[in-house]
Amino acid sequence: MTPPPVEESLVRFENVSRFYGEVLGVNRVTLAIPPGITSLVGPNGSGKTTLMNLMTGLIRPTRGSVRILGVTPEDPEKLFALVGYSTQFDAFPKGLSGFQFIYSFLRLFGWPREKCERLSWRAIGRVRLNDAAHRKIAGYSKGMRQRIKLAQAIAHDPRVLVLDEPLNGLDPLVRAETIALFRELAAEGRHVIVSSHVLHEVDLISDQVILLSNGYVVAEGKIQGLRSEICDHPMQILIRCNRPAALAARVFELDSIVEARLHADGGGLLVKTRDAGRFYRLLNHIALDGIDIESVAPADDNVNSVYEYLIGGEEPGK
């Protein structure tokens, strides 16, 4: 007789790839996510939603396998006893109030009315929407819609929460409340897996961060570890401009530069620096006299460039 299996407490991806036709969603992802708050961070299109949809069976891997606490996403009856997912889709079934929305979908579990009512109110209370619960969702603000989705994801008390960009559209106060809720949920021993395209939004609250870029996991681990990994390596930046040679002469005056060389196509300059933030600030000053700078972008796909993108605050209006 085989011994009973040790209870699995990890969300596992084993060499998972997913293609949308020709388009790469994620490639060769291998992960083991323990309980606690885990952030999937990467620019738009890096594969965060794809990973989350794979965890919840909304899409299937092209290759590899996914297991949520040992359960395959192919088995909704087992999976959704364990998992709650708040998607990035800002859409709701028509004509329902916040309460009806949560209550009706809880009834799909096959539970009796009283239990569903009780769970609905508890979830609504946790996201502080009690006052709006009987209003139609169609009249909710973006922030309220985010919260009612969150309530729907936590209503059945799942051990694994998957939340796609849950902080999007929340004002600072609600955002702080929501983060406090994540901590609470994680402290109860759950997995709280959140995604964001802004690292500094989640880095402080995360037990673990997974950095994604173009469908690859480029770094993974505790946030402190990530920071040191990033600081040790100089990062490469490509500056597209009309006079790269002239620019090269100027940038060497900057002390943070490790290396600068002309790009092979003659239309740009590749610069290596240890302090990208400082480099960007200085670049603003030398750019003024006679050199037209077309673009400045991280030149490689490594952790640094993604990180730089994420903390660079390039998103206007953020």
Partner 1 sequence: MIAKYWAQMRAVVRLEMKKTFLSRRGLWVYLLAFAPVLMFAGHDLSMMRTREERRAIAAAHPVPAGALLSIQPGMTREEVIARLGEPNVDSRQIRFGGGRIRREFLSYTDGQSRYVFGFADGELQSISVREEETFAQDRLIFATVFQFFFLRLAIFFGCVGIFTNLFRGELIDKSLHYYLLAPIRREVLLAGKYAAGLIAAVAIFTASAALQLWLLSLPYESSLSGHEISAYLGVAALACLGYGSVFLAAGLFFRNPLLPAAGVLIWESANLFLPSALKKISVIYYLQSLCPVVASPHREINPVLALLISSTEPASTILAVAGLFAVTAVVLVFASRRARRLEINYGAD
Q: Does 46 bind ligand ADP (CB under 6 A)?
A: yes
- Tell me which residue of 23, 16, 73, 15 sits closest to 45, measured CA to CA: 23
Residue of 17, 36, 67, 109 interacting with partner 1 (CB under 8 A): 109
Which residues inside 1-30 make contact with partner 1, applying CB under 8 A? Answer: 20
**CA–CA separation, 177 vs 47, rounded Å?**
27
Q: DSSP per residue over the chain, as a string?
A: -PPPPPPP--EEEEEEEEEETTEEEEEEEEEEEPSEEEEEE-STTSSHHHHHHHHTTSS--SEEEEEETTB-TT-HHHHHHHEEEE-S-----TT-BHHHHHHHHHHTTT--HHHHHHHHHHHHHHTT-GGGTTSBGGG--HHHHHHHHHHHHHTT--SEEEESSTTTT--HHHHHHHHHHHHHHHHTT-EEEEEES-HHHHTTT-SEEEEEETTEEEEEE-HHHHHHHHHHS-EEEEEEES-HHHHHHHHTTSTTEEEEEE-TTSSEEEEEES-HHHHHHHHHHHTTSS--EEEEEE-S-SHHHHHHHHHTT-STT-
**Stretch touching partner 1 by CB under 8 A, among 54-62, 222-230, 253-261, 300-308:** 54-62
Find the shortest distance in angstroms from Cβ 76 to ligand ADP. Answer: 20
Residue 193: how many CA atoms within 13 Å on its side-chain side? 30
**CA–CA separation, 55 vs 151, rounded Å?**
19
Q: Does 49 bind Mg ion (CB under 5 A)?
A: yes
Q: Which is nearer to ligand ADP, 27 or 302 (by Cβ)?
A: 27
Q: Which is nearer to ligand ADP, 55 or 241 (by Cβ)?
A: 55
Q: Which is nearer to partner 1, 105 or 280 (by Cβ)?
A: 105
Q: Does 20 bind ligand ADP (CB under 6 A)?
A: yes
- Interaction partner, residue 46 (ligand ADP, partner 1, Mg ion, none; CB < 5-8 Å by kind): ligand ADP
Q: Binding marks (x or -) toward ligand ADP, 50..89, rule CB under 6 A?
A: x---------------------------------------
- Interaction partner, residue 121 (ligand ADP, partner 1, Mg ion, none; CB < 5-8 Å by kind): none
Q: Does 166 bind ligand ADP (CB under 6 A)?
A: no
Q: Which is nearer to partner 1, 15 or 104 (by Cβ)?
A: 104
Q: Does 76 bind partner 1 (CB under 8 A)?
A: yes
Q: Does 105 bind partner 1 (CB under 8 A)?
A: yes
**Stretch touching ligand ADP by CB under 6 A, among 46-54, 141-149, 233-241, 279-287:** 46-54
Which residues inside 72-131 make contact with Mg ion, applying CB under 5 A? Answer: 88
- Interaction partner, residue 38 (partner 1, ligand ADP, Mg ion, none; CB < 5-8 Å by kind): none
Q: Does 93 bind partner 1 (CB under 8 A)?
A: yes
Q: Which is nearer to ligand ADP, 217 or 270 (by Cβ)?
A: 217
Q: Which is nearer to ligand ADP, 42 or 158 (by Cβ)?
A: 42
Q: Find all residues with CB under 8 Å of 298, minimum gap 6, and list them.
A: 235, 236, 237, 238, 304, 305, 306, 308, 309
What is the binding site for partner 1 (CB under 8 A)? 20, 53, 56-60, 76-81, 83-85, 87, 89, 91-95, 104-105, 107-111, 152
What is the binding site for ligand ADP (CB under 6 A)? 20, 23, 25, 42, 44-50
What is the binding site for Mg ion (CB under 5 A)? 49, 88
